[in-house]
Amino acid sequence: MTKKRALVVDDEADIRELLAMTLQQMNLEVDEAETLSAAIAALNKQPYAFCLTDMNLPDGSGMDLISLIQNKHPNMPVAMITAYGNTDIAVEALKLGAFDFVTKPLELPRLRNMVEVALKLATPTTVNFSKQAGKLTGDSPVMDKLRQQISRVARSQAPIFIHGESGSGKEIVARNIHYSGPKAEGPFIPVNCGAIPAELMESEFFGHTKGSFTGAHQDKKGLFQSADGGTLFLDEVADLPLAMQVKLLRGIQEKAVRPLGAESEVAVDIRILSASHKDLDVEISEGNFREDLYYRINVIELQVPPLRDRREDIAPLTDLFLKKFAADVDAKPVALATDAIDTLQHYAFPGNVRELENTLERAFTLCDGEIITSADLQLKARKPKLILETATSPVTTPASQEAIADTQQHQHQLNGQSIDDYLATIEKALLEKALEESRWNKTAAAEKLGITFRQLRYKLKKLNIE
């Protein structure tokens, strides 16, 4: 079996020797070049699986070499060697097309990890991306363009900022980037930055040691360590407090974190993807977001189109969701009436794909028969409605009234609990009471509650009631 060949470009002989020895120990053939012209000549002679270049060369710069490789050898990963703390140069290299960088003094474990990732770029993977990542449904021009962008950026380890409206599918884009790249076998760790209490953020991101604060009964890995070898997805990154932004920036730049109470840092090998529905330029101008962090996470920016800009995708998305809902409850798929199709095509969908899915889920659950009408969609001036409501009237059976009365005695529990969780608690109580009174006869329970058998099965699965 022919060994893969790497090109090392550096004008310092001892650095070239160290790099060559390290790569040879990884079973690579290594060619060395001490100038830009020598590197170009080597590239013209034969293909390489990987190139590692210093920034400063006697007759040019590593940036020139990266640009040349991107133009003539776009499938060959190239990494930059930079001076310690020279983050701006590293970011510029990533923008030009370098897939990653290492800093001097060289840390050999970090170098080996980087090379292993680079070599995977040339190795076909058997990962089922669409199943693990979530399918990017739609054949509109904007979605075709987005898929092409994902294919390109997945090869890089550059931080990517994903911008798009709420509900447009930013996390699915992030998952597709991860599962299409060389770290696909590593973990994908998503975190909603706006959902973590400020006082717990540092512990959640960086971890803590036993006894580091009251309640720290054992060591705990943070999100950075959990994502080691994979991808950390920072959703709604604009919601991070300024104090946490400083600490996050250091963790990203140093590729290491210090758990609360620890005496030393822990190295992490992760790719950072971030997203927000907010305009970070506006957030920076208003003093809510650090400019240095912005430039560190926004090396490459992807725009996720809103659903109103790809209306031709509404039909395949609708078909996908309705089949999914039916399969979840082992029921027959339902169809859309002509007026329902027309309503969907002319609705603005401010909540994007998430709103379409939620709208269809509700209509699937509450529609009579196997046809969803425009009225079932309830898209005009929708108002919050009581759960377990049918298309005509809310449940007013003795069983439901008694269950509601029981739950109302504990309304004080709403404090600190989301309204969705609170309503789900009420709904679960209604269902369990009706099932118990019907001796777990689902048909009888559905009649008692005034809903269809399909609706009952759907809600039992949704609320995980066995």
Percent of the chain beyond pLDDT 90?
Answer: 52
Among residues 177, 160, 155, the alpha carbon closest in space to that of 73 is found at 155
Q: Which two tokens stand for residue 274?
A: 């971030």
pTM for this predicted structure: 0.76
Domains defined along the chain, listed by start: 5-120 (3.40.50.2300), 129-305 (3.40.50.300), 307-383 (1.10.8.60), 390-466 (1.10.10.60)
Report pLDDT for 133: 66
CB 348 within 8 Å of CB 364: no
Each residue's pLDDT tens digit, 195-240: 998 888 999 999 988 877 777 788 889 999 999 999 999 999 999 9
Would the pLDDT of 407 be above 90? Answer: no
Each residue's pLDDT tens digit, 417-460: 567 778 888 888 888 888 888 888 888 888 888 887 777 877 88
Q: At what angle do helices 419-437 and 453-462 cross, to 10 degrees?
A: 120
Would the pLDDT of 173 be above 60? Answer: yes
Report pLDDT for 429: 87
Nearby residues of 432 by Cβ (< 8 Å), 6 or more positions away: 465
Residue with structure tokens 């920072």? 234
Would the pLDDT of 359 be above 90? Answer: yes
Judged on CB neighbours under 10 Å (0-12, 13-18, 19+), 209 is: middle
CB 209 within 8 Å of CB 261: yes
